Amino acid sequence: MTDAPEEDRVFESAAELFGVLATPIRLKIISAVCNGERNVSELLAQIPTTQPNMSQHLSTLYRAGILGKRREGTQIYYRLQSEKVAMLCRAVCTQIAVELDGDEPVPSEERLLVGGLR
């Protein structure tokens, strides 16, 4: 028998994480820092948005424990703090890319996208 309160905590934590990741710009930020630290200027060069908007998203990811940061002079460098989050993002984004770009249809039981979203 499953311990319902423990299961509830797992689902609540997963929902909270998915809520933080539910913005395309945050997924782009995670992708950008997967291969090393980036400062805000470097991130803005890669991701088209305003500086205030970028700062807001970085702050959200930092508070959620997904990103770490360090200051060097006037620059703040962000790095991936959670490899588990990176693995999750890679798995989901790779699967979606395969479904969108693939020549062969993906069996319905393996699809991440709802049929109406295609």
CATH number at residue 18: 1.10.10.10
Total structural domains within the chain: 1
* Residue 85 buriedness (CB in 10 A; 0-12 / 13-18 / 19+): buried
Average pLDDT of the residues of the chain: 83
Number of neighbours of residue 106 by Cβ within 10 angstroms:
14
Percent residues over pLDDT 70 in the chain:
83
Task: Tell me which residue range forms the domain holding 43.
Answer: 4-117
pLDDT at 88: 84
The winner for highest mean pLDDT among 1-10, 82-91, 95-104 is 82-91
For the stretch 53-97, pLDDT in tens is 999 999 999 999 999 999 999 999 999 998 888 888 778 878 888
In 3D, which of 26, 71, 34 has the Cα closest to residue 53?
26
Residue partners of 85: CB distance under 8 A and separation at least 6: 17, 21, 30, 66
